[in-house]
Amino acid sequence: MKATLFTLFAVGGFLATSIASPLAVEKRQDIDAIETSLETLLTQIQEQTELINSTLTPVADAAPEADAEAVAEQIAPQLDVIADLLDKSANIAKRAILDGRYVKEDIFRTVSIILYELLGTVKFILIKLGLGPVLFHLVPLILALVKTLKALDKVVDGLLFAVKFIADDLLKAVGLGLLGLLP
């Protein structure tokens, strides 16, 4: 009886393993694909900010409104791409964190670098063009950034506290730009 029961469990285990194996491989590939999602997000954002910075470098500080409008239209696609990247990355990064692929320090570091990258670019845009010409493109970017930070903070306790000062600087830069729009 014991031998029959043992044989039944062994055969059942073999069947379960052979059926679940393709699913386990597929899940593992999915985890590997999202494992580097924060690093990939950082790289993609850096590519877009590099394009923005190269477009803005030849522009004079506080460019005349007509010139600022023309340059704002040139960098608008990159700002939209960054907003889309942030918007799509919230759930992917959240899944990667839930799967235990990151430790808190890695998340804090990567998110801080992303915020510094965006802070530097937004400040550079504001110095060169002012807020008026790019306001409609910065709002979706800021909203997507807030959504991403909130999604990650639900999974990583203390994330917002850790990156609060960088996020405050970014929002302050945009807020000061808004004050400059007042007559």
Most confident of 92-101, 135-144, 172-181: 135-144
Instruction: Give the Å distances, CA to CA, from 41 to 22, 27, 110, 112, 180.
Output: 29, 21, 9, 12, 32
Based on the fold, state whether residues 140 and 73 are members of the same structural domain.
yes
Residue 45 to residue 128: CA distance in whole angstroms: 20
pLDDT 10s digits, 103-131? 667 778 888 899 899 999 999 999 999 88
Based on the fold, state whether residues 102 and 21 are members of the same structural domain.
no
Based on the fold, state whether residues 101 and 79 are members of the same structural domain.
yes
Based on the fold, state whether residues 42 and 30 are members of the same structural domain.
no
Based on the fold, state whether residues 124 and 109 are members of the same structural domain.
yes
Q: Compute the mean pLDDT over every residue in the chain, rounded to the nearest whole number.
A: 76
Based on the fold, state whether residues 64 and 13 are members of the same structural domain.
no
Name the residue range of residue 124's domain: 36-181
Based on the fold, state whether residues 67 and 25 are members of the same structural domain.
no
Based on the fold, state whether residues 8 and 93 are members of the same structural domain.
no
pLDDT 10s digits, 11-60? 444 444 445 445 444 444 444 444 457 888 899 999 999 999 999 999 99
Q: What is the DSSP letter of 26?
A: H
114 closest CA partner among 32, 56, 37: 37
Based on the fold, state whether residues 154 and 81 are members of the same structural domain.
yes
Residue 152 to residue 146: CA distance in whole angstroms: 10
Domain count of the chain? Answer: 2
Assigned token pair, 78: 């990159």
Based on the fold, state whether residues 61 and 114 are members of the same structural domain.
yes
Based on the fold, state whether residues 83 and 14 are members of the same structural domain.
no
Based on the fold, state whether residues 13 and 80 are members of the same structural domain.
no
Model confidence pTM above 0.85? no
